[in-house]
Amino acid sequence: MGQTKRITDGFRSAKTRVVPLAGGGDGLHPCPTMITAELIQHVAGSLYERALKGIPADTHRALQAALGHESPGTGRRTLMMMLDSADAAEREGALVCTDVGIPVYTVKVGTRVRLEGPLRAAIAQGYEALVRRIDPPILKMVTHPLTHERGHTGRDIPIVSFDMVDGDDGLEIVCAPKAMGSGRWEELKTFVYPTLEQIESYVLEVVARAGSQPCPPIVVGVGIGGSFDHAARLAKQQVLRPLGQAHPEPAIAAMEQRLLAAVNALGFGPMGLGGQAGAMGVHVDYAGSHGFMPVAVALNCWINRRTGARIAADGRVEWTG
């Protein structure tokens, strides 16, 4: 009997379909098989659609928690509208926001994984297939930086970054589409031997400049140290961190709490209409650096778009986010 794989579709309710896998075996037990290009295409497209038509479970919980603490008035009503909108989008298969952003994928590749064909091409093909079939259709948000011509694809689109995981035989893919509201206000600045106070002040300055534009309550990711590009990557990784998950080092965890309190004390509130819920989380990480120390600040809007999936060696797909 030819080997099969099980693909789980849907959002909170799961459905399963079975399609052929390359190689032998019964499809139920780990064996030396390849993860097929077809499966990667399906997962990449589904992740983008899931990111557009729902919000992560931890984000839903964070908004509910903020609702419980928000003072009566416009801020509280706005949070209720956000939750209602997210629930309606998922229930009806609609878009939570019409700014669907540009497709951004982060991929962790196990050093023992076996892949059928080029990985990046499979992700791109999955995204392009999704653009053709998604209902409702999505707007053209990919913009040529020099001509401003818009389309669904472009140079280096989708944006895909890779990392390796020693000893793993699977594949992890995270999709975090980037839209105008949060993308416009992200920043990076290089300091020379900054104090902790200087770093925290800079983060608050970035958030204050952004104001209501990133559609709060936001998630703030901060990357400190390393090189220019590594600090930006650290900041991006931090907005992907699950809400409520503190940094393992007590000093950094304390910094996160100080910054979260300070951001909320700015008083922007939900959608900048005033209130206590300006941010759902501030996540910080760092890397060794030189005397020059870049500090990057990344932002996610209240939708907090990030969906993920792990593809096991036997073809099983576990959806996260």
Query: Greater confidence, 102 or 16?
Result: 102
Give the position of tokens 């669907």.
100
Dmax (CA) of the chain: 64
- DSSP conformation class of 23: S
| Whole-angstrom distance, CA of residue 41 vs CA of residue 316 | 14
* H or E element that contains 174: strand 171-175
pLDDT at 152 over 70: yes
CA-based R_g, the chain, Å: 20
Q: Which amino acid is at 175?
A: C
Q: pLDDT at position 18, please?
A: 38
- Residues 166-217 have pLDDT tens digits of 999 999 999 999 999 999 999 999 999 999 999 999 999 999 999 999 999 9
Structure pTM? Answer: 0.88
pLDDT at 8 over 60: no
Give 4's strand partners.
20
> Where does residue 80 rank: exposed (0-12), middle (13-18), buried (19+ CB within 10 A)?
middle
In the chain, domain spans? 4-53+98-177+306-320, 57-92, 180-300
Residue 133 near residue 52, CB atoms below 8 Å: no
Give 308's strand partners.
174, 320
